[in-house]
A and B are shown apart, each in its own frame.
Chain A
Amino acid sequence: MKEEIFVSGRNIPDIDPFLNIWHWQIPIYLYLGGVAAGILFFAGLFTLLGKEKEMPATMKWAPIIAPIILVLGLFFLFLDLKHKLYFWQLYTTMRFESPMSWGAWVLMAITPLSMVWVGSYMKEMFPWWDWKFKVLNLFESWAIKNRSNIAWVMVVLAVILGIYTGILLSAFNARPLWNNSILGPLFLVSGMSTGAAVILLVSKSHYERTLMSRIDLLLIVIELFFIFHMIMGFRAGSAVQIAAASLFVGGPFTITFWVFVVLLGLLFPALLETLELRGFKVPVIIPAILILFGGLMFRFIMVEAGQITRYLY
């Protein structure tokens, strides 16, 4: 018997043929990051526009959620790490060409910043609140005085964070579904839309709700535009990209994508928001929850489907 030995570079479990390394933690992390980016973006933006008085939920109440979900998201990311004890090494390096490095540093900056932001509003929200230490009181008065400066930094960081949640995926140039430049803006817009949905849920002021509904509607339209162009771009691309898009158009992700993301996560809430702006009575919780759920599903299927797509055949 003659023996033959085959040597193949393709026997890489969990990477080839399909990537199988990212599970539920990553999409939730990206989702929470996007929502937080959206909330903080609007808080910063409306501070800079001088609308603090009219937008209480955007300024004070919704941002309470931001640091909580940012920390929660980081915790999920931590759970996903294989070598958990080495997480700090992300911070020993600063690489401009690596989105992971960008993300790590942005999160490092925006998480404490969001805490400072919430802290500066604590006494306004809860009059009984007491910082107990003199240092903290001094810091608070400094933060309140410099709120517009903080807002500037926060807006910029929120945009970077929102884009990062998409770029993290698109930097994987071996996965055709992720490797497209629309993903960054798409995730940013989607994150802002979910952030606006949180504000809508929290807000009690009619003015604020109407304004946020309008903004959210616009964001949904932009998001739909991006999504359709992403798919059209894929379909006009090479065979692997067409194969990537076909996961959503007739493939295994068709139902989740079209039903939960496009129909019930974008189009239907957009219709409800339009009706509300036209004066119909719509319980705001319905479009808001649908948008939040649709955004979550979108990240889940993008992460799942992206791992299936590949160049090698």
Chain B
Amino acid sequence: MTGPLIPMGYIPEAWNNVIAVLLGAGFGFTLEASGFSSSRKIMGTFYGYDFVVLRVFFTAAITALVGLMYFDYLGWADFSMMYVLPTYLTAAIVGGIIMGMGFAMGGYCPGTSFCAIAIGKIDALVFTTGLLIGIFAFSEAFPLVEKIYESGNLGSIKVSDSLGISDGVFTFILIIVALGMFFGATLVERKVKKVEY
């Protein structure tokens, strides 16, 4: 069976949302068990007292990336069938900056705030309410931001292609960079005073 299973028709479309619940449960469980339901633990990455976000985030991205490349190599899944988020350069940067500000203020991102709500964090509930209002505001004010939203369209490009290197080489570099960051994070954690939360 060559993946992705649902687009290829191995699993009927009707099961898609049922599988969504199961995959989401795995997602939520791992996030919570890793400590992403605590905003102060998440924020540790930015103050150097707890780099759990950095570690989990990069390990996850690399695991999935390497896994997908192996699946593709072994013929289990077709990498080119995977949905690659299209790159709208300006929108991605501006959007990322706004999210970064929101991150530093709110201490959550949407996924982690859902996890925090599930275990009873009131600040997460307030964050998600803000999220709803922010999305509503954006949708209503769309004519004002439409230009930024549509600008810098480069299509569904891969970072390796735009850098002019092969996927394998890029992944290898990414792993080295991640390992370097993990090492650096451990050094910083040793120096920074522990914060109780």
Which A positions have Cβ atoms within 8 angstroms of B?
250-252, 254-255, 258-259, 263-264
- Within the complex, the shortest CB–CB distance from B115 to chain A, in Å, comes to 15
Residues of chain A within 8 A (CB-CB) of B21 are 259, 263-264
1/0 contact trace for B7-45 toward A, CB 8 Å? 000001011011001100000000000000000000000
Contacts of A250 in B (CB 8 A): 12, 14-15
A contacts with B: majority SS: helix
CB distance from A256 to the nearest CB of B (A): 10
Min CB distance B134 to A, Å, is 28
Please list the residues of chain B having a beta carbon within 8 angstroms of any beta carbon in chain A.
Answer: 12, 14-15, 17-18, 21-22
Give the shortest distance, in Å, between B17 (CB) and chain A (any CB): 5
Is A263 in contact with B14, judged by CB distance below 8 angstroms?
A: no
Expressed in whole angstroms, the minimum distance between the Cβ of B24 and any Cβ of chain A is 11
Q: Using Cβ atoms and an 8 Å threshold, which residues of chain B touch A259?
A: 17-18, 21
B18 touches A255 (CB 8 A): yes
Q: Give complex CA distance A177, B169 in Å.
A: 57
| Cβ of A248 to closest chain B Cβ, rounded Å | 10
Q: Which residue of B lies closest to A260 (CB)?
A: B21
The 8 closest A-B pairs by CB, nearest first: A254-B14, A258-B18, A255-B17, A250-B12, A250-B14, A259-B21, A259-B18, A263-B21
**CA separation between A252 and B15, bound complex, in Å?**
10
Cross-chain contact B18 with A251 (CB below 8 angstroms) = no
Residue on A nearest B12 in the bound complex, by CB: A250
A264 to chain B, nearest CB (A): 7
Task: Determine the chain A residues whose CB is within 8 A of the CB of B14 once the complex forms.
Answer: 250-252, 254-255
B14 to chain A, nearest CB (A): 4
CA distance A259 to B15 in the complex (A): 10
Nearest CB on B from A231, distance (A)? 14
Residue of A nearest to B11 (CB): A250
Name the CB-closest residue of B to A252.
B14
- A252, B14: Cα distance in complex, Å: 7
Residue of A nearest to B22 (CB): A263
For the A-B complex with A254-B18, A259-B18 known, give 7 more contacts whose Cβ atoms are closer than 8 Å.
A252-B14, A255-B14, A255-B18, A258-B15, A258-B18, A263-B18, A263-B22
Complex Cα spacing A258 to B17, Å: 10
- Chain B minimum-CB-distance residue to A258: B18
Closest Cβ of chain B to A21, distance in Å, is: 27
